Amino acid sequence: MPDRRSEGWAIAALVYTATVWGANVVLMKLMTQHFTAVHLSAIRMVAAFACIALICRFTARVGPLPTGRQFGWMVGAALLMTYAHQLMLTQGLAWSTATNGALALGLNPLLSVLLGALLFGERLHPAGGFGVVMGLAGVAVVVLNRSDADLRLAGLGDALLIGSMLVYVAGGACIRHVSGQLDPLAIGYWMHLVGAAVLVLHAVWLPEFRDPQAWSVGLGPWALILVSALVSTALGSVAWNYGIARLGLGRASMFINLLPISGLAAAVVFLGEDLRPAHGIGFALVLAGTWFAVQPRRPASASPVV
């Protein structure tokens, strides 16, 4: 008989994770007003790695050093999920809106289903194919519902947001090769170590890195970075791993559907972004499409760490 109390805590942990990951899109949008995309990504990932390293230190879950093959897959995941994903997501938010950023996060399960069918031979049932088409239609409804004045720069921002999810899901394919061999927290430790190091090297080469004015942004933005790294990336990852351990990856992946909802609500409440009918239609199509896509087999989905 399953432990209902343990299952209840797992559900609460997954709801927490989905909520903070969605709301974190708003924090990132606010931070793009003070930092360039590269510097913000580097600072956030260094802070996130420090938090994860502390958690690993106190839980002793890093384990032995990975083999060369395992480390190679994690380097690939780091370049895609931590480096490219963070840069594209951050710059996309700077040019677009937090609302559309939340919608991009909602694409994760759909893209995971599609990638599983293309790369790993997972059977895509007709209902799953219909769900993928429905979800992409939802994105199109929101992205194309812009005035001509907004179309150029904001349109590029939307493209980067969608691209950020494509590279993240591609990175999830790398993680899949080591997920059964290493502890999830250990994978997060090595992935963030490599990703943060590459982002720092990138940031150092930019002229803004040596400009004192670029770092004199006040206490508020630095506090937002700390909150984002601790509450969303570090604690969110721990809560997500706990939920997977208790409920399994298939059931846990369904909670990703809450990300665009919490992100949309936070964008409207804290940023005052407009909520248009197209947003409601687009989000409904994405959520319905996800439901159709994951119902036949409920494949594992690589969750976005934001």
What pTM, to 2 d.p., does this model score?
0.75
In the chain, pLDDT over 70 holds for what percent of residues? 75
Q: What is the structure's pLDDT at 299?
A: 45
Residues contacting 44, CB < 8 A, separation 6+: 28, 31, 86, 225, 228, 229, 233
The band of 164, judged by pLDDT with boundaries at 50, 70 and 90, is: confident
**pLDDT the model gives residue 225:** 86
User: pLDDT-based confidence at 147, cuts 50/70/90?
Assistant: very low
The terminus-to-terminus CA distance of the chain in angstroms comes to 35
Residue 117's pLDDT band (cuts 50, 70, 90):
low
Find the range with the poorest average confidence among 18-27, 50-59, 98-107, 164-173. 98-107
Q: What pLDDT is attached to residue 257?
A: 67
Angle between helices 37-59 and 85-95 (to 10 degrees): 130
Q: Is the pLDDT of residue 27 over 70?
A: yes
Residue 144 has what pLDDT? 61
pLDDT value at 2 more than 60: no
- AA letter at 188: G
**137, 285 contact by CB (below 8 A):** yes
